[in-house]
Structure 1
């Protein structure tokens, strides 16, 4: 498909959820009720399993953490979506009344879909069986698509879905261009901005890393002040620029593609209302980049100017079969204004791109694919004149091409089969997390210590001799992760937030607890925040807390008002070890006195159940806080969403670094630093806490072993995962991930494009250090200076990572 303005109407084919072309392994989800409501059952009009995909927990208002994800294996132009609930022959009645869509072209940057009026929420189903189809206006270009159910009250939801569209054979993944401008006509202004651009807008003047109206499949009318789309402003169909804003007399647009392609033509749909000083471009100069460097000699093309016919038209630019992965074009003004509504590319690789996708999607259909490819190639050779009789020379060329393609396909098949074997090996490694004896090489095999079990990720073969040991591992039934010289305190929430070196614990053991007993009757329970193996965490109101407070605490409320607090409560049936750990945790928490660390206010230990009362911040945790906000900018204005400025993001990150600087000065290791474990108060005040692991909301952030959430692997350093080593340097790694979350407004999980097993496999690449490891990408809002801090946190060598003192100082320098 080369989108030439008619594609929105005709590009509406089902992409394979209901037809089975999309394979089970390409359908995933954030969670599932049970095996029979897994992601693979979320196919439209299918009744297999229990009839649909259903997330593990009921969906809460403002919580869009649950999602059903589809990997289309290649870029597609998606114009329509269909949804359905769970009927299951009358046994089910769950459906999504509303939902949102997120999409990604590369699996790393996720974009929230908005309609042409800026709204994200799509109306869904009203019953469990009817199929509801919704046009995507604007359509999206993506490989990955997520359906995210939304409710206005807590409810169980289930979904079956389908995507409609066709493959995006242009291969264009982004274009960078100046923002469109406003033209003032005698009667009204005309806004020629790219209103659906899904990338970033830098300094309100440059659009980057996105796609928008130039690729939405809608061509502008002859009269640019009118529009194909209803209820929009004049000029909506076009992106336009005035020559007075460009002293160089040209507008430069750079196009990035998914791979190196052999380009034949570029078609630019231009307005030509010369009576209003609007004309097509008089010349275009295009530069091509195939690898890392731009070609020195550009291509120049000058179209025939037309001052008789004011109709909009496509101008076709011959790209002369240049090989490139990026094209930079300079369009020169022919008059005061230049208006484009659509730009498309044609390349010689379009014929077999769909073929490769089919091979990757289903390796069991090779014969059918080969047959189809031969037909498609034959059709290409005969496309210009299908009635022409092919002569002998053409026949020889055709046979040669077919033989070459067959060899390419065989190579692709071999690669795919090899990858499948590797995947099965990795699954076997993950499934070995049971009571076992593991032989591992101390020099070459990276190993992971978790839940009392050590297992190894396959390492590169080494010819060097190394000492091999055999370790018998016995599962002890207690989830823990720490290096040997650290005291393990199993917290009430199931996490051991502050890991204390044994020598430091000895120093603390002789001191009394510096907090007072609080009367239980003055606590009013409001909400359960979470629970763990040994206890629960509740949000409470405490009356008269000011009388029990240290003078250094200041509350922004009067003395007769209750104080919002978090209460960690030990279960009455907890064992002796858990009780001792609870008392030790109280002792440790009582020593922590820093404005950016949650403080222990009081305790209830004279009778059961044992309780510790800590601060709680009225705006909840940072993850939820940021996910409800948007960055300042045009999109936030259109959606009326609350915003957080970049300066305030830096301010919050600086406070986290300050709190961690304090902990590291005491030789305390947090081991679970993330936005879910940071609380937000008034005026963007941040305090580090440890409630995240206990909340079902964040169970997907922890690697599950035998059904239990244990390891936050997406935030953990490679040495913590593979060697079981936790230090301040591993906390620094987690801070880099936390900073990445903040700059992404917590809209996606770190390494969201990777499975848990692939995350572990990636840590093996850090261990081997052969430059194949994957780093989290630079967020759109993140300047280079901040991304450099992140990358420094993720250095392989722990000694090369910055200290929290250095990070804090660097963040202070960045703040305006």
Structure 2
């Protein structure tokens, strides 16, 4: 009765359950803190093997909290290597745990104890404990490196558990203390174990494809049947269309699937037993199946499921036969309706329709039994041609006399849920989809949908993370330079640099530290380019040495003219363009690096406003290299000028040095390419930004429905799809620039692809199913340098090298 009263006061509990897309259960959404730092986990649910003192007890082991002496610290007696100390958390119910966080003890500077490594054990019933292992079968997790910072670690694979133990790995070097947090969401399937025949091995064209349940946390029985527990069929990851590939785990082919051949099953079916935590009212079962029929793999022909509510099995099973598909080889979910059967266990027999049958994920939708009333509805959202399914379960416990009021309440809540979902969609549309290129969206819509990749899940995950300022701060390091960017509209329509807003604020109050240059000393030679707001001219400047800073070395003699580039703002330019021009001057005046084009002077006394920058006598790197050949027989026969490999690497090292300087200021170039690198004497390189303005390079820029022009062949996938420009996207462009350099700019990057195909290829980087096309290794390129290029094109921006690392690698590898 007390429970009923409590539930009535609670009124209604709602839950959005997102199902697998092509990349599985959206673990990016299931990453909420479970209550150590927020206090939802009570003190009595936190225990430990031992403690230093009352002030370092288990209840003080909460992430980012400073109560007590600042952490849980185990009492160490005897040899540390023999210790089995642990901090245990009871979540009171099963949870799907995807992430863990740890922190040491600093106690306001009084402590310096932390766990450099640790292990995790977990249990679903409190009696049988399982050691967590990574997908590479490693138990030890890298922990903290100091007592202050929070270290987050993804659990790959995730776990389903009620009890979790953090076990620091201790040695003689230091004492350990820990503060911890668990991240995930409640496990709603109610599934506590399954019993399945062992997965088998396929030999395909001489390649071994292992289709075993590799993350199963139970034991194997003598009958070659996996004993009851949980594993790969519930790990939240749905397999790729091509079962010979795997997600990025560095594991064996077939890893994502559990599969069997009909030769091993004379009955013609595979039987799987599912045990649940209690008797439930089942509505559906979803089975993610491979359907690569060209390899004799198909969705099951039919499934027959039996239900056990108490001790006996019901005599009448549910049978379902999906429609066979010999046209589309994509993996897919098959939904089986259970028509509200009540059961605590389900036994399903999946019949072969071809030689092989492979599953990667099985989920159940159900409600509990009792006096509770359960309502479940499926909400469908559409993004382009993609459908997103949300299962909304509304649970309430009421007496019969309140039934009518409850129905009204449930109806209102369901309506509110629909309204909230609609608001989320509108917000996502305005904040994310408008940032995406309309052309990209049109090209990728069908591709993304065919692979069931739901772009909308990305911003949903971001919104979920944003709800916790603590989690947002932790997960955002390192950020590179991606937030609060001020974009300056250059005189020719391009952006000189993307500059952090903080930097612009610091610059806004300072005068321009560049002298006025007399216009009469400029002689115009040719127009380099033009844009909406102005032009860029190549000029000769007289008496330039009189305007040099004392820290600026310029190799000219007295009265010698020098080549300069003059950016000229049109007199009729609007106010915004004039303000951006002045800001650009302020920025350029403070860029002082030997590998960055310098601002030499300005003409501000009258219109048109001008800024005068360096220009190198050998022009841009693209044209310079295209006129040269590598050293070798071809150059000798053609009598063409040559450039040695050592000089190529010397030039690339200078580009990396200039970008290292820009990135140290948090500046993002956004158009790094050989066309924007100028060449001087002795292969000196200086980075500029003239490329977009020159008709010569109009083919390097792709126009988006008459609006923006973008250098898509140099841009990272996240810049094209998400409009995200960072230092990491500059690193990507550097990899392409390095490729151009080592090919002597003889062809455009991805010359075999049309602009539309280049954009489609960015979708392959987004999907990350190993179908993306990389630029090939140039003939002159050593393996270590090509490896460096590939690292610049890593899908994960945080795993790309910094410009400091790139510069060091190039310096160390110089011949």
> Per the shorter chain, which TM-score range?
0.3 to 0.5
**TM-score of the superposed pair, with normalisation by structure 2:** 0.44
Choose 1 or 2 for highest CA Rg.
2
